[in-house]
Amino acid sequence: MSFGQHVRVFICVVIMGVLVGFVLNAEDEVTDNVYIHAVKDGMLTNYEEVRVEEAFNQYFTSPYWCYYEARSGEHVVELSGEAIYKGVQGETYLQFILNEDATEFRVGALKFNGIVQDKDEKWQLVEAVYADWRNRQVVKHLPY
């Protein structure tokens, strides 16, 4: 190989390394940051017996947590995965909206099998998640 070919290969390797580093860093920012930890480690009002992560990760199949800033400027943590809703298992997206300093959050929108659910339906899912968590706690403590 000539010197010019070596230089071209070297430049390609450096560019690829920079791109891979950018992609890996971008993924860390989206799936692991202060907003995601605030939701996962937090508790919802009226459901203070368990952290959000423990209850929802138990209920969702293959839960995936990610963060993004909405066009409106809101900080959004979105949980996605398969979940049972009204007796049907389907693709579920539940959003949590956080304040700027990640000290408070609330439940945002719910989308189930491609359909945005209304406020009452959203809370039905949340209640189902916590009822499932409570039921599993009872089963854990049953004498054998």
pLDDT tens over the chain, length 144 residues: 776 665 464 554 434 443 344 444 444 458 889 999 999 999 999 999 999 999 999 999 999 999 999 999 999 999 999 999 989 999 999 999 999 999 999 999 999 999 999 999 999 999 999 999 999 987 665 565
The CA–CA distances, whole Å, from 32 to 39, 66, 67, 68, 115 equal 11, 7, 8, 11, 27
Strand order from edge to edge, sheet including 75-85? 61-69, 75-85, 88-98, 105-112, 115-117
Q: Is residue 8 part of a domain?
A: no
Q: Is residue 129 part of a domain?
A: yes
CB atoms near residue 79 (< 10 Å): 24
Q: Is residue 124 part of a domain?
A: yes
Q: Is residue 53 part of a domain?
A: yes
Q: Could you give the number of structural domains in the chain?
A: 1
Q: Is residue 62 part of a domain?
A: yes
Q: Is residue 77 part of a domain?
A: yes
Which H or E run contains 73?
none
Q: Is residue 29 part of a domain?
A: no
CB atoms near residue 96 (< 10 Å): 25
Q: Is residue 135 part of a domain?
A: yes
Calpha distance 80→44 (Å, rounded): 18
Calpha distance 84→89 (Å, rounded): 4
Q: Which domain holds residue 127?
A: 34-140
- What is the model's pTM? 0.76
CB atoms near residue 16 (< 10 Å): 10
